[in-house]
Structure 1
Amino acid sequence: MRSIGEMARDSGLGVSALRFYDRAGVLVPAWVDPVSGYRWYGTEQLEESRLLARLRRAGMPLADIRLILAGWSGADTELVLKLLEAHLRRLELGLSDARDEFSAIRALLEHRENPMASLRTTTSRPAVSAPELAAALDAVRFAACADPEFPMLGGVLFDIEGGAVRVVATDRYRMAVARVGTTGGAGPRVQAIVPSPLVDAMRALLSDDAPVELTLDGDRVVMETGGRQVAGRCLDHEFPDYRRLVRLPAGRRVPVEVPAFREAVETGPVRASEVREQSGAACDLTVLKVTRDGAVAVCENDEEEHRVAVNREFLLDALDTAARDELVLEFGAPTAPLAIRRTDTEETFSLLMPFRLEN
């Protein structure tokens, strides 16, 4: 007999997924301890569990999976093949439809004017506080993208407008925004994406209270402080409209004491992501909910309602970079981003994209 943990390890299905498939009658354990409720599986069920994992990765509907497993155990190859072929046709039709839609979208993009182009043709020379700029870069750098397929996200956006510099980074699964006040540099809005290595070089110079002058001139950025200078070219891409992305419906705000909450996340239960929806790889998920007494708890029960699941590593990064003993977590719908906000400002925060919890 195999324990549920051993079955999860050897099959590629998470423990929570195995529990779900038991409740759904898809993969029922050979024996359940009547006292502890612990599930045990027969050796012959390993092949079925691996087949189930493959079918789920291929996006097979649960109803068809149930029939395939029944046909598999009964050697009904005709039924199994017909279900596989039908699902493959659905995938091919869906891919064909998606290609058509993407082609139409590309055509629309080619005919659109690029309203962002003017944001890189104006020179701006704002002065900022070195400690404030250092804190802002520390608050967002962790969210910059390292995926070469998305070069437009491979740095930090500097958005200068209205007496402030906003720095923004995102890797599609998390976003961080911070604001720094400026003196000088008044004029039209200017934007530039500073590549991550250049951002790191800038941050290395921000070690004292010397005034800092930024110069954004076309595709070039220069930072001067304390008689030292770092300069380089900006990325020749356009950053997504982050203002639209951070415009979220108001959610429920819950304060958390960071040291205790961080320990709860580090030591609390996790579940493995089954759907490879973020960065193409499975990860450990932390499932959070707001309790009746208004606290944030790490969920122990797969059947908890009003949950939000986020990448545990990303959550810990966001807590660390905020560098505060108290933060505010803002919960919207389970499918809405989880906002992590400081208590002293509304303009420095991070967002974590949630994972779908299908079971």
Structure 2
Amino acid sequence: MAGNGLITIGGLARACGLTASALRFYDDCGLLVPVLVDAVTGYRYYSEAQVDRGVMIRRLRGIGVPLEVVSEIVHGDGARAGRLLDEHVAELGQRAREAAAVARVIKEEIGAGVVLSAAVLASAIDQVRSAAALNREIPVLTGVLVESSADSVTLTATDRYRLSTRALVPERPSGGAWSVVVDAGELGGIGSWLRELDEVSLRAADDGLVLTGDRSERRCSTIDAAFPDYRAMLAGLGAVRTRVVVGRDALLTVLENGAAAQVIFSVDGSEFFVTCDRHIGHGSPQPQPTAHLRVPAAITGPDIEFAFSPKTLRPALMSAIGPEIMLDIAAADAPVVVRSATDGDLTTLVMPTAIANSKEHSA
């Protein structure tokens, strides 16, 4: 406090709940001018009567009254001040109603989830979920990772020996990005329901993945665990050295010609051979017949020999779409990328096995 009933700028700031810098601003714009400014020090002094005006200015600014309207209210008569306040409150109400309407639309869009072709989703589930593990030793590997972004929905599954991932283009995208790991068995169980629909929306909820279509709903429980970083796995693949384009049905026919323990692929110049070794691991003292067949294929790259377990390879071939598949091979001991020639957005990785009796097969 200063003498003669005057208040320093700091004292007024404390009395009316404003900062000293705000009071200097209100002085400069003529809204709350000090009654005295010391010519030597430049200190501002206010009267005790100005405390009420400072409090009023703070309250008006607190409800968003524009500065020019604040000036009219504090300098005008009571009737005009009342009308200005009523107009401001009415404007606030209108803006609140408009904001609520926009919020409702946004909430509906978020709640509706991402919309996909139901048939395409059913196909993608069948393709990808076969790569999920059946053994629940690592629970997250028995699930399918479902990821939604602004422009795609991606399904991915892996059992450490295979990996399948497919990206789908939404019919209507969702604004929010989310990801959940869904139980593969439950996801596979809704295939018949999906095939009866035209479209289906997906959204993540606290209790699982919610799928809605044609006034009906399905929920799949989720697995609360971190899914393997499959993108790092894909990014870490070596450069493709040998590429083979071969008939899908021809390979499946070879696999079905008996209970092979190992399937060996050989690229020899322009020829592609498939050997189904049936005696490995069967415990028989006598070797069983071995099928060694030449399969028509288009080949680019150097010769190579690599092998698979049929239990791993067959599901990858079964999930492929189209008459031909493409095998991208970096090395005999590196994951082989299996792609459908007519469905390039489905990528399947299959881990080779060590070749048993490799000298016999290369002789």
Instruction: Provide the TM-score with structure 1 as the length reference.
Output: 0.57
The Cα of 1:187 is off from its aligned counterpart by 3.7
Cα contact 2:263–2:274 (8 A) shared by 1: no
Q: Distance in 2 between matches of 1:229 and 1:235?
A: 20
Aligned to 1:43: none
> Which aligned pairs between 1:189-338 and structure 2 lie closer than 5 A?
189-247=177-235, 248-251=237-240, 252-267=242-257, 270=260, 284-295=261-272, 297-298=274-275, 306-338=304-336
Aligned to 1:113: none
Aligned to 1:24: none
The Cα of 1:299 is off from its aligned counterpart by 7.2
List per-residue Cα deviations over 1:224-258 (Å, max 9, x = no partner): 12222111431111101111122222322211111
Change (3 A) 1:129 1:307: same
Q: Distance in 1 between matches of 2:202 and 2:328?
A: 33
List per-residue Cα deviations over 1:110-147 (Å, max 9, x = no partner): xxxxxxxxxxxx97810000111011011111111122
Q: Distance in 2 between matches of 1:156 and 1:128?
A: 17
**Which residue type is aligned with residue 325 of structure 2?**
L
Instruction: Tell me the matched-pair count.
Output: 223
SS in 1 for 2:219: strand
The Cα of 1:196 is off from its aligned counterpart by 2.0
Q: Distance in 1 between matches of 2:356 and 2:266?
A: 16
Q: CA RMSD in A?
A: 2.6
Change (3 A) 1:323 1:343: closer
Whether 2:141 is the aligned partner of 1:134: answer no
User: Which one of 149, 154, 163 corresponds to residue 166 of structure 1?
Assistant: 154
Q: Distance in 2 between matches of 1:237 and 1:326?
A: 36
> Which aligned pairs between 1:68-79 and structure 2 lie closer than 5 A?
none
**Which residue type is aligned with residue 222 of structure 2?**
C
**Which residue type is aligned with residue 259 of structure 1?**
D
Q: Distance in 1 between matches of 2:255 and 2:335?
A: 18
List per-residue Cα deviations over 1:20-45 (Å, max 9, x = no partner): xxxxxxxxxxxxxxxxxxxxxxxxxx
Q: Distance in 2 between matches of 1:210 and 1:329?
A: 33
Aligned to 2:135: 147
Change (3 A) 1:123 1:292: farther
Instruction: Provide the TM-score with structure 2 as the length reference.
Output: 0.56
Computing the radius of gyration from Cα coordinates, the structure with the larger value is 2
The Cα of 1:313 is off from its aligned counterpart by 2.4
**Which residue type is aligned with residue 233 of structure 2?**
L
The Cα of 1:186 is off from its aligned counterpart by 3.6
Q: Distance in 1 between matches of 2:273 and 2:226?
A: 37
Change (3 A) 1:296 1:250: farther
The Cα of 1:265 is off from its aligned counterpart by 3.1
Q: Distance in 1 between matches of 2:167 and 2:119?
A: 12
**Which residue type is aligned with residue 203 of structure 1?**
G
Q: Distance in 1 between matches of 2:134 and 2:258?
A: 28
Q: Distance in 2 between matches of 1:192 and 1:254?
A: 35
**Which residue type is aligned with residue 122 of structure 2?**
A
User: Which one of 337, 347, 350 corresponds to residue 352 of structure 1?
Assistant: 350
SS in 2 for 1:138: helix
SS in 2 for 1:348: strand
Q: Distance in 1 between matches of 2:175 and 2:145?
A: 18
The Cα of 1:329 is off from its aligned counterpart by 1.3
Structure 1: which 5+ runs fail to align?
Answer: 1-121, 271-283
Cα contact 2:147–2:154 (8 A) shared by 1: yes
Q: Distance in 1 between matches of 2:340 and 2:169?
A: 17
Q: Distance in 2 between matches of 1:202 and 1:291?
A: 44
Structure with greater strand share of residues: 2
The Cα of 1:354 is off from its aligned counterpart by 1.2
Change (3 A) 1:179 1:124: farther
Q: Distance in 2 between matches of 1:345 and 1:213?
A: 23
Cα contact 1:219–1:236 (8 A) shared by 2: no
Cα contact 1:124–1:185 (8 A) shared by 2: no
Aligned to 1:177: 165
SS in 2 for 1:236: coil
Cα contact 2:114–2:172 (8 A) shared by 1: yes
The Cα of 1:319 is off from its aligned counterpart by 1.3
